[in-house]
Amino acid sequence: MDQLNELRQRIDTLDREMADLFCRRMEASAQVADYKRKAGLPVLDRKREAEILSRNGSALPKQELLPFYTAFQRRVMEISRQYQTSLIGGSSAACLPDLGYETILSRGALTRISDYFDLNRNVMIITDSGVPTIYGRKIAEQCRHVSVFTLPCGEASKSISCLRQLLEEMLRFGLTRQDCVVAVGGGMVGDLTGLAAALYMRGIDFYNVPTTLLAQVDSAIGGKTAVNLDGVKNAAGAFYRPKAVLIDPALLKTLYPRQLSAGMAEVVKMALICDAELFSLIETNAISRLDELIGRSLQIKAKIVAADETEHGLRRVLNFGHTIGHAIEATHPELLHGECVALGMLPMCSPSVRDRLKPVLQKLELPTSCVLDRPAIYGVLSHDKKSTANGITVTEVVEVGHYNMRQVSPEELMARLDIIEEGAFER
C-alpha cells in the first residue's frame, strides 16, 4: 500500500507540472491567436500540425508509447484550435463539451471550410434540390476531386431507396475508406448521409454542414442517423459520429420563414427543459439574436449528448414534445417536424408553463392548436419505439428550465390531446 501511495504521489506531482505546462501552452496559444487575428490567418494549419506530430513523435523517448502520445498530442492541438477559434471568431464551439468531434460555430465559415475539414482527398457532397446550389459549390471549389449528389428535397427522400442510390453513387465515384462525404442540407440530408457514411465500406469520414436552423441546433450533432421505413420515422438507423460539424448561421438567410420558425421550436424545447434564461431571451427577442440562440442551444444539446450519447437515459429528455409530436407528424404530413414538436410540447407542460409557452409559439408563428386524427394518433402512440411494458417514457416541464421524466400509458397521452384541440374547432 505504501508503495502504491508513493507512486500515486509521483503521478500527482507530474499532474501538477502538466497543469502548469498546459496553462503556459494555452497562454502561448492565445498570443498566436492574436497574431493570426491581426494577420487574417486561419486557426487551423494542417501542415504545421502534421509536422508537430511527426517531429515530436520521432523524438519520443519510448517509441512503444507512440500511439498513445499521438492521440494525446492530437487532442491537445484540437483543444488549442478550439481555444483560438473562440478568441478570434467569438465562436462558442470552444465551450462545447467534448463529443469526440469538432463543432465549429462561426458566421461566414463556409468560405474557409478547408481550414476545418480535410478535403484533400475524394469528396462527395450530398445535398438536396431545395438547398441553394451556391453552398455546395463553395465547398466544391475548395476540394481537389469532388462529386455532388443531389437528392429530391423532402422527407420522402429519407428512404431506403435513396440510401441505396447514394451508396451506389459513392461506389461509382470510387470513394475509398480514406475519402469522405459532406452533407450540405437540413436534417433529412444529414440523417441520410450519416447513415450512408456509417454503412459504406463499414464507415468512412462524414462531415456535416447543416443549412436549416433545426439541423444547426439539433440534428447535426449527436450522431443519430436514420432513414424512414414503411412510414415509420427513423426505423432504420445507427449512431455514427461525424468527423466534424460546421455551423455557419449565414446559411440560414435563404431559409423560408416557416422553416426558420420550425427550427425555433427545437430551440424553445431546449430552453424549456434546461435553460430558463434562454427561454426569457426568446420571450423578449424571438429570432433576432439568432447566433446566440444557436450557440446556447448547441451547449445544451452537446452537454446532454456528451453525458448519454446512445440514449439510455438522460438523452431522452430531448424527446420532450416529440412523443405526441411524432404521432402528429406521422398522421398530419402537411405539418413540418418543428411545428409538430411545438404542438407536442403543449400537453407536456404544467398550466403555468403553457401560459408562457403559447404566446412564444404564436410570436414565432408556430401552431398552438390543431384538429387531430385521433384514431391514427392512437395507432402511432401504441407502437412508440420508446414504449415498454410500463408505458412510454415522456419528459414533462413543470417549471421553465426544469424537467421530469415519467412513464405514461398511450391512453393518458390521448387524454392530453384535448389541450391541442382546444380552440382549434372555433377557427
Ligand X SMILES: NC(=O)c1ccc[n+]([C@@H]2O[C@H](COP(=O)([O-])OP(=O)(O)OC[C@H]3O[C@@H](n4cnc5c(N)ncnc54)[C@H](O)[C@@H]3O)[C@@H](O)[C@H]2O)c1
Catalytic residue numbers, as ranges? 202, 224, 266, 301, 311, 315, 319, 322, 326, 337
Cell matching residue 373: 386524427
Binding footprint of ligand X, residue count (CB under 6 A): 30
Tell me, residue by residue from 224 to 243, as one string, x for binding to ligand X by CB under 6 A and - for no binding: x--------xx---------
DSSP 115: G
Q: Which CB sits closer to ligand X, 29 or 211?
A: 211
Q: Are 331 and 376 in contact (CB under 8 A)?
A: yes
Nearest to residue 249, comparing CAs of 79, 91, 33, 125? 91
Decide if residue 410 touches ligand X (CB under 6 A).
no
Q: Which CB sits closer to ligand X, 91 or 212?
A: 212
Q: Which CB sits closer to ligand X, 70 or 234?
A: 234
Decide if residue 187 touches ligand X (CB under 6 A).
yes
Q: Which CB sits closer to ligand X, 57 or 132?
A: 132
Q: Are 301 and 295 in contact (CB under 8 A)?
A: no
Cell matching residue 300: 445544451
Q: Give the burial class of 426: count Cβ atoms within 10 A of its Cβ; 0-12 exposed, 13-18 middle, 19 or more buried.
A: exposed
Decide if residue 136 touches ligand X (CB under 6 A).
no
In the block, cell 497562454 appears at 27
Decide if residue 254 touches ligand X (CB under 6 A).
yes
**Hey, is 392 helix, strand or coil?**
strand
Cell matching residue 181: 462525404
CB of 256 vs ligand X, minimal distance in Å? 6
Decide if residue 214 touches ligand X (CB under 6 A).
yes
Residue nearest to ligand X (CB): 187
Say how far apart CA 422 and CA 6 lie, in whole Å. 70
Q: Which CB sits closer to ligand X, 49 or 311?
A: 311
Find the part of the chain contacting ligand X (CB under 6 A) among 60-68, 123-131, 397-405, 413-421: 123-131
Find the part of the chain contacting ligand X (CB under 6 A) among 116-124, 196-204, 251-259, 413-421: 251-259
Q: Which stretches within 157-256 are classed as H helix?
A: 160-173, 187-199, 213-214
Answer for which of 80, 106, 212, 323 binds ligand X (CB under 6 A) is 212
Positions 294 through 353 that interact with ligand X (CB under 6 A) = 337
Strand order in the sheet with 102-105: 102-105, 244-247, 205-210, 180-185, 122-128, 145-151
Q: Which CB sits closer to ligand X, 82 or 259?
A: 259
Decide if residue 259 touches ligand X (CB under 6 A).
yes
Decide if residue 158 touches ligand X (CB under 6 A).
yes
CB of 270 vs ligand X, minimal distance in Å? 12
Decide if residue 155 touches ligand X (CB under 6 A).
yes
Task: Tell me how far CA of residue 320 lies from CA of 383, 393, 394, in angstroms.
Answer: 18, 10, 7
Q: Give the burial class of 405: count Cβ atoms within 10 A of its Cβ; 0-12 exposed, 13-18 middle, 19 or more buried.
A: middle
The DSSP result for 215-227, as a single string, is IIIIITSS-EEEE
CB of 188 vs ligand X, minimal distance in Å? 3
Binding site for ligand X (CB under 6 A): 128, 130-132, 153, 155, 158, 185-189, 191, 211-212, 214-215, 218-219, 222, 224, 233-234, 251-252, 254-255, 259, 262, 337
